């Protein structure tokens, strides 16, 4: 019971910390997903919105902690932890949206958009000399994949007749299923999928439209180039961490190591390192690299214009973008530091979403017809 209480409080504290950090990661000219001129970054209305959000977020965490403790004492169920953390995140996101509306209302009432001429900046070198995929940083993920596949191939002939179902980073030890190539090599299949998905994401991100600032065109372009390469490197290292966790999980699946707490720690340690690495890097560079140090001459850069105001095309506090006149398919989101979103005004975006939806429908139909068996849910991992 004490462990459950500690886990619940730690999870609530983690979610709260992430949500408190969210506004601080954005550029000063994008408070709560609203575009403002640089001279308005410290406006009293924005300061009031930040205080409103921070105070209520902390209050929600305190209420959630008390409620979850009482619920755990009454029920003793670990489900309370997941429900409490989810509720905290949902309420915090609603508070974020409320702060977004506060800043946007102040902007409209004060006529901030008319204070400077609006413009956009374009750096053609992102097309003539784009940021390349840092392939060398993908070698660790590939090495772990090949190591796992090699050990699995050597071990396959000596596997028992049945294996426990593989659940990502754990196994359902209470059940067994016949040993086949597909069952035995599930960790390797997951690793291949991770590498392919990460590579596709990196390529798409590097080709997405740069998020530059017309007020500081030269400095923002240089920072964004550094930031973009950093995102690619961190993504490829993330694939290595995920594959390393699967490698240790595969050793348990193939009964090469005996179940012990040390192996449980080894499975999830790369995931903890992954999360810590992303948080550290994100805090250091900020949204689109705005926290990166300026070079001599960039500190006072000011073109005299403001970045084009397109708030009317952004929804859900900067998470969703819809603009039929914008040819860009993938754009940098205003919510979060290292996130991109599809332009839902682009026909190709709906085509991609339609293909994904049809794939899910076909899989569901095949499962209902008994053609394929979907994995049974045993837990989070």
Phi-psi label, residue 292: left if phi above 0, alpha if psi -120 to 50, beta otherwise: beta
Those residues whose C-beta lies under 8 Å from the C-beta of residue 304, and which sit 6 or more positions away, are: 116, 117
Place of tokens 């994904």: 356
Q: How far apart are CA 33 and CA 29, in angstroms?
A: 9
Instruction: Read off the pLDDT of residues 16-73 as tens digits, 9 standing for 90 and up.
Output: 998 998 898 888 889 999 999 888 988 999 999 999 999 999 999 999 999 988 888 8
Q: In the chain, helix, strand, coil percent, each to 5?
A: 65, 5, 30
Backbone phi, then psi, for 271, in 5-degree steps? -70, -35
Q: What is the mean pLDDT of residues 186-198?
A: 95
* Of 32-46, 138-152, 231-245, the least confident: 32-46
Q: Which residues pair with 331 in a beta bridge?
A: 341
Backbone phi, then psi, for 292, in 5-degree steps? -65, 145
- The predicted structure's pLDDT at residue 373: 52
- The predicted structure's pLDDT at residue 8: 82
Backbone phi, then psi, for 122, in 5-degree steps? -130, 130
161 SS3 class: coil
Q: Quote the mean pLDDT of the chain.
A: 89
- The predicted structure's pLDDT at residue 375: 52
Q: What is the 3-state secondary structure (H, E, C) of 195-214?
A: HHHHHHHHHHHHHCCCCCCC
pLDDT above 90 (res 273)? yes
Please give the helix or strand (H or E) that residue 267 lies within, else none.
helix 261-285
- The predicted structure's pLDDT at residue 378: 44
Q: How far apart are CA 230 and CA 14, in angstroms?
A: 24
The confidence band for 262, taking pLDDT boundaries of 50, 70 and 90, is confident
- The predicted structure's pLDDT at residue 379: 44
Instruction: Read off the pLDDT of residues 104-139 as tens digits, 9 standing for 90 and up.
Output: 999 999 999 888 898 888 899 998 999 999 999 999
If one compares 367 and 240, the residue with the highest pLDDT of the two is: 240
Q: What is the mean pLDDT of residues 206-232?
A: 93
DSSP state, residue 3: H
Q: Which two tokens stand for residue 175?
A: 């059940």
Please give the helix or strand (H or E) that residue 253 lies within, else none.
helix 217-253
Q: In sequence order, what DSSP letters do the residues of 268-337 get, joined into one string?
A: HHHHHHHHHHHHHHHHHH-GGGTTSPPPTTTTT---S-EE---GGGEETTTTEE--TT---SEEE-SSSS
């Amino acid at each position: 019971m004490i462990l459950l209480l500690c886990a619940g409080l730690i999870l609530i504290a983690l979610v709260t910390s992430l949500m408190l950090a969210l506004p601080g990661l954005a550029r000063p000219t994008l408070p709560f997903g609203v575009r403002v001129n640089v001279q308005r970054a410290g406006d009293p209305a924005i300061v009031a919105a930040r205080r409103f959000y921070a105070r209520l977020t902390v209050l929600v965490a305190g209420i959630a902690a008390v409620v979850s403790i009482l619920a755990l004492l009454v029920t003793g169920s670990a489900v309370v932890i997941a429900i409490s953390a989810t509720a905290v995140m949902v309420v915090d996101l609603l508070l974020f949206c409320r702060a977004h509306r506060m800043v946007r209302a102040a902007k409209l009432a004060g006529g901030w958009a008319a204070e400077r001429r609006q413009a956009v900046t374009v750096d053609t070198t992102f097309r003539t000399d784009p940021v390349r995929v840092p392939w060398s940083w993908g070698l660790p993920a590939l090495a772990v994949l090949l190591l796992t596949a090699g050990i699995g191939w050597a071990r396959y002939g000596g596997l028992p007749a049945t294996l426990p179902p593989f659940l990502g980073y754990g196994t359902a030890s209470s059940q067994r299923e016949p040993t086949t190539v597909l069952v035995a090599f599930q960790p390797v299949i997951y690793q291949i999928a991770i590498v392919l998905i990460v590579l596709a994401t990196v390529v798409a991100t590097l080709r997405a439209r740069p998020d530059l600032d017309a007020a500081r065109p030269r400095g923002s372009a240089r920072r964004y180039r550094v930031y973009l390469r950093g995102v690619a490197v961190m993504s490829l290292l993330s694939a290595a961490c995920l594959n390393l966790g699967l490698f240790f999980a595969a050793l348990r699946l193939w009964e090469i190591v005996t179940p012990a707490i040390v192996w449980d720690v080894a499975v999830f340690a790369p995931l903890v390192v992954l999360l810590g690495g992303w948080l550290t890097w994100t805090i250091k560079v900020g949204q689109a690299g705005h926290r990166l140090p300026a070079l001599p001459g960039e500190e006072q850069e000011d073109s005299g214009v403001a970045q084009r105001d397109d708030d009317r095309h952004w929804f859900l506090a900067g998470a969703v973008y819809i603009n039929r006149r914008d040819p860009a398919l993938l754009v940098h989101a205003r919510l979060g530091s290292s996130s991109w979103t599809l332009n839902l005004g682009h026909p190709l975006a709906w085509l991609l979403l339609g293909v994904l939806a049809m794939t899910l429908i076909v899989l569901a139909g095949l499962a209902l017809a008994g053609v394929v068996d979907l994995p049974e849910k045993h837990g989070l991992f």
